[in-house]
Structure 1
Amino acid sequence: MYSIVDIETTGNGIKGNKITEIAIFKFDGQKVVDEFTSLVNPECEIPYFITGLTGIDNHMVRDAPTLLEIAPQILEITQDTIFVAHSVNFDYNVIKEEFRTIGISFVRKKLCTVRLSRRLIPGFSSYSLGKLCTSLDIPITDRHRARGDAHATVILFRKLLETENSETVFGSFLNARSQEATLPPSLQREVYERLPSKPGIYYFKNSKGENIYVGKAKNIKKRVLSHFYDKSTKEVQMCRETSNIDFELSGNELLALLMESAAIKHHYPLYNRAQKRNVVPYGVFSYEDRQGIMHLAFNKLSQVPRSLITFYNTTDCRLFIEQMCIAFNLCPKYCHLQENVDSCSHFRVANCKGICRGKEAATAYNKRVQAAIENMLSEKQTYIIKDKGRTIDEDALVLVQEGVYSGYGFVPKSAAVNSIEDILAYITLQKDNLETTRLIQTHRVKNPNSILDFSSGFLKSAQKV
């Protein structure tokens, strides 16, 4: 016995989404044996765009029963039946969540007519209810109203039951260990099955082939499946739009993180919130004025001929220069922490030796500025990070040149690597940014043994890479 269900709601998510109309046809495989249809008072405002889609407005549901009032009828008609709907996870999970909020458990076996249609009648360009019904000559009235859509789903479901091999397919979908009911309705099971249980990044794609989400994982297959169980509004909507999933192996977590960051900034996927913003880099630089006094200053990296050190906001630049002033007795005026002043009077930096008041020679002051510059440059190492490759026959490398992330690559263990030019032959060049800097700095602290320094016997070490 089946209960074929359709609901109209106040939105597209799961939590906080309220039912405005519900229709249930109890179906024995041959004919409808019972029916329940009702408007539902959601006890909240119905958005204008939902009214435009369904025609259901606040006035229509004002005197309708609440879900609590009709819950006994819903439980009775669906009891001991298999819950069937077009894109079943949406209808089922909204009802389950609504029942949870009124203290009632709602658990039923379920079948999805989208996934069943894809398996039993493949080849259609779209499996939306409207387009599928048009292709199959199924009459559908009162589109986007619960009873009209549910009735069309009954006819579609009967056709699926009568299709060749339906018994086997239905049985596999109802298997307790089957993931069919968990997968997005537009995603073929074969696409999910080919995902590897290895580190890397994955792309959720819509029906147009557009990347709508990029993620990273130590275990791609396991992480992808977790999206399908997540009932947050964003995840539900994203999964409903997912028609395909692609992936790239990374071999290790660091590369997965770096690859994810690059992919997000390249594709700007709809459902990725983090890392989309292009952060403007700033560089600290030095110059000598007409009086022969050396200055430290900062500006956008694009305006700096040769950056001594890079930051990703002006606050970090100022704080760093303040630290240099304190450590090397530099003048806030000539470090551009104070502008348009005759002499410095910085509230945090009070150890200037008087260069701004003519009490110190430029040569003595410049020696301390040069010492500060050498301190900055000492942080700009050129090195590689060596980690696990995608296979046992290769290593993964991350290249950092003079403190700037340059890219990553995969090197066969049999390859002869004797110079930075040899390394560059395997490197996919990437842009350095705030996220990559943080990722690499964190990795260096946690995994110091993975660093191979160009300045300390690198060539000898690299031959073993």
Structure 2
Amino acid sequence: MASGKNKNEINTATKYAIVDIETTGGSVSGSRITEVAILLHDGEKVISEWSSLINPEMEIPLHITALTGIDDAMVAEAPVFADVSDKIYSLLKDVVFVAHNVNFDYSFLRGQFAVCGMFWDVPKLCTVRLSRKLIPGMPSYSLGKLCAQLGITLKDRHRAMGDALATVELFSMLLERDVDAVISGMLRKISPEQRLPPNVPMEDFAALPECAGVYYFHDQKGKVIYVGKAINIRKRVASHFTGNNTALRRQNFLRDIWNISFERCGSELMALLLECTEIQKHWPIYNSALKRFEPKFGLYHYMAVSGYSHLAVGKLPKQQQCLKAFNSESEAVSFLVEKSEAFNIDRRFCRYGTASVFKSELPIPDAVGHNANVDKLLDELGLEQNDFALILDGREIGENGCIWVENGKVNGIGYIGEDFTGKIEEVRDSLKKCKSNHYMLQLVMTFASQYPSRVVKVA
């Protein structure tokens, strides 16, 4: 009895604003509010209500009208947001903001207040997250389906007051079920749960380790929609859910995340390589940066009919072999200029992509001497093709990470025992095979040059 009394005291001492809005679209930066409904709740009952259509000062898209029934004619004589901003602010300034998928409504109102020069920041509760905790096991937590499953009346679907009234009934039901003070816990400033997207279980976030590795965001069907790497998995995942980025793509991204999984790695380099291989494997819809890691230009060698060796920078088609690959033409040209000077190669026998051909009044060098200089450069580049293994830190004591490089490609990654005493060649088949690319090889070669003690040459 005592705990129940305490719960009621907390509820009646707190004022909640159950809110629903309708908008012209899903992006705060590119869309506007068309309707607002606010129902003030004292923890036991609704004590006041307010609603209004809002003139968004922009055309309402046809698909939005089809969804909400709100068209341009309906809002033509309605107030613009600035005209009612003081009223809305007065209703929402000292409350707990409650909505179904709260971050959507909250971010829109916060953005519209900001346009009016008003700063607004209040605690918030999401009835999606609360329902998952207090009414577990439902097949769907969308407002419409949840109301149907719970016998809650829902009239005027996708109109602000209709959805707000249904959310009030749902919230009252949640208050009654909250015998373990879940709501109070979610309102604590230190609670990370309030920052999570509505569909992500707290258990998934709580399970994340604070170590290097790769994490995966999954959609409702379990499909991987994003892969990321981190030195600290938990910290990096949390950073996805902070900040005030209101772009439509980010809002869709957060809405589509339903589960989080991870794979621990012993080092940042191993995490980088695993991230690359997993992106190639799953091709997630929300990854973009590492989808563009294939090189575009290459360094080529050929022997002309004159008997002179030539070096040339040119475009690199897929599956084409070259001496060395580069991300850009300028990078390739700079490399060839540097190496031609270092090996005393006459630049008249070098072709720098689309750049002008080098001209000189000096005599043409002897072919034998010139070709010998080119061969020295080719020998240096050939050293990069040597097979070797990189030995890295493992995920735990008694384990080492291992990266296998063969024929100028990252062939495999994985983990071996720290006390391994056999020939290094024997570990190759135990490693996870990789589909190597230029970006991965660059990472490995840079690390190998910085930490030569980690390199084990393969006979």
2:144 and 2:179 map into 1 onto residues whose CA distance is 22
1:383 aligns with 2:388: yes
Aligned twin of 2:239: 226
Aligned twin of 1:411: 416
Q: 3-state SS of the aligned residue for 1:209? A: coil
1:308 aligns with 2:313: no
Unaligned runs of 5+ residues in structure 1 are 340-344, 460-465
1:131 aligns with 2:145: yes
Contact 1:280 1:300 in 2 (8 A): no
Aligned twin of 1:431: 435
The equivalent position to 1:269 in structure 2, one of 284, 300, 321, is 284
Aligned twin of 2:27: 13
Contact 1:14 1:236 in 2 (8 A): no
For 1:154-233, what aligned pairs fall within 5 Å after superposition?
154-163=168-177, 165-166=178-179, 168-232=181-245, 233=247
Contact 1:99 1:106 in 2 (8 A): yes
Contact 2:329 2:353 in 1 (8 A): no
Q: 3-state SS of the aligned residue for 2:131? A: helix
Give the drift of 1:200: 0.7
Q: 3-state SS of the aligned residue for 1:159? A: helix
2:45 and 2:117 map into 1 onto residues whose CA distance is 33
Match of 2:198, as an amino acid?
P
Of the structure 1 ranges 374-383 and 184-193, higher mean CA displacement relative to structure 2 is found in 374-383
Q: 3-state SS of the aligned residue for 2:241? A: helix
Per-residue CA deviation, residues 333-375 of structure 1 (Å, 9 max, x unaligned), is 6x66699xxxxx96425388548xxxx5x55554343233223
1:449 and 1:193 map into 2 onto residues whose CA distance is 38
The equivalent position to 2:345 in structure 1, one of 313, 329, 345, is 329
2:138 and 2:24 map into 1 onto residues whose CA distance is 30
**RMSD, aligned α-carbons:** 3.1
Normalised by the length of structure 1, the TM-score is: 0.84
Per-residue CA deviation, residues 95-135 of structure 1 (Å, 9 max, x unaligned), is 12322232223232222110111111111221111111122
Contact 2:348 2:358 in 1 (8 A): no
1:53 aligns with 2:67: yes
Q: 3-state SS of the aligned residue for 1:195? A: coil
Contact 1:184 1:242 in 2 (8 A): yes
The equivalent position to 1:64 in structure 2, one of 78, 88, 92, is 78
Aligned twin of 2:454: 451
Normalised by the length of structure 2, the TM-score is: 0.85
Q: 3-state SS of the aligned residue for 2:56? A: coil
2:224 and 2:361 map into 1 onto residues whose CA distance is 55
Q: 3-state SS of the aligned residue for 2:261? A: strand
Match of 2:455, as an amino acid?
L
1:43 and 1:285 map into 2 onto residues whose CA distance is 59
Aligned twin of 2:400: 395
Match of 1:392, as an amino acid?
I
1:112 aligns with 2:162: no
Query: Alignment identity in percent?
Result: 39
Unaligned runs of 5+ residues in structure 2 are 1-14
Distance 1:97 1:417, change over 3 A: farther
Contact 2:347 2:358 in 1 (8 A): no
Contact 1:204 1:242 in 2 (8 A): yes
Per-residue CA deviation, residues 247-268 of structure 1 (Å, 9 max, x unaligned), is 1111211111222222223222
